[in-house]
Amino acid sequence: MTESINFNRAATFYDATRKLPDDVAAEITRALLAEIRASGADKVLEIGIGTGRMARPLMREGVQMVGVDISTEMMGQLIAQLSAEHTPPALMLGDATALPFRDSAFGGAMIVHVLHLVRSVEETIAEIRRVLTPEGVLLHQTQRPDDETQAVWDSHEEFWDRMCSRHNYRRRQRTTQATIRRAFAESGASARVVELSERVHESTVAEELRHVREHTHSWSWTIPDHILADSMVEFEGWLRERADADGSFADRTRYVVEVWRWS
């Protein structure tokens, strides 16, 4: 059975490679804080709290956070970054598909860029529903790409499927946002979407090649090294076909907070 992806290997470089622009981070924090306060939750569970990239700013605002993660190294990075300004969190080691909490323990929960990493989206959603009170709210912060960016992302998935199939290897499939939203709906939940800023993430061919060589992003971790190495020349060609003349390209996405409820 496929297991949830553990980020121990990324703990030392995660924050540096996933850093949001300061204004985007502030906007997301304001949106999450507003929803938490509106919910009336006295404590908030973050599933996949990691280094606290999203939770630490909320702790600085006085939010009582409870975090669960399968990576001890990531939570170690969180602890190392806490100061007297942060409300101390309660941290637990555990998997999103089997949360180590009693039923109806939380009035609020949040999850950020985790659902595509878990063993089962359906099991994770069922667990979130179990640990929330009947009136509880789940905040799912994610990004929604424009059509052109989505097409490039889909093409990227297809490219690596082809490279792996040449070696008779089936790679782990990334769960799409559409699949995640459908799983929530099928569980009986409904969402209100808070739309935040639309942003452009600029990159270069050289940077993307470096990310693959250095295994920066989790999608590459389940592909054997020899397949990655054998595919680099073709991957560079694929990137250059989609880049501007100067070797740069841009992803356009909108940050959103999905506010899911089951009542």
Dihedral sign computed on CA atoms, order 173, 174, 176, 180:
positive
**59: helix, strand or coil:** helix
| pLDDT tens digits for range 227-257 | 999 999 999 999 999 999 999 989 999 999 9
Q: In the prediction, which pLDDT does 189 show?
A: 98
Mean pLDDT of the chain: 96
Q: In the prediction, which pLDDT does 2 show?
A: 73
| List of domains in the chain | 8-261 (3.40.50.150)
Mean pLDDT for the stretch of residues 171-175: 91
89 confidence band (pLDDT: 50, 70, 90):
very high
Cα distances (angstroms) measured from residue 54 to each of 3, 29, 112, 143, 232: 24, 7, 8, 14, 33
46 vs 156: CA distance, rounded Å:
30
Q: In the prediction, which pLDDT does 217 show?
A: 94
Q: In the prediction, which pLDDT does 197 show?
A: 93
Q: Is the pLDDT of residue 77 over 70?
A: yes
Q: Is the pLDDT of residue 263 over 90?
A: no
Q: Is the pLDDT of residue 50 over 60?
A: yes
75 confidence band (pLDDT: 50, 70, 90):
very high
Residues 6+ apart with CB under 8 A from 12: 73, 77
Q: In the prediction, which pLDDT does 98 show?
A: 97
Q: Is the pLDDT of residue 1 over 70?
A: no
Of 217, 87, 210, 223, give the one whose Cα is nearest residue 161: 223
Cα distances (angstroms) measured from residue 248 to each of 146, 208, 212: 18, 10, 16
> Considering the chain, what percentage of its residues have pLDDT values greater than 70?
100
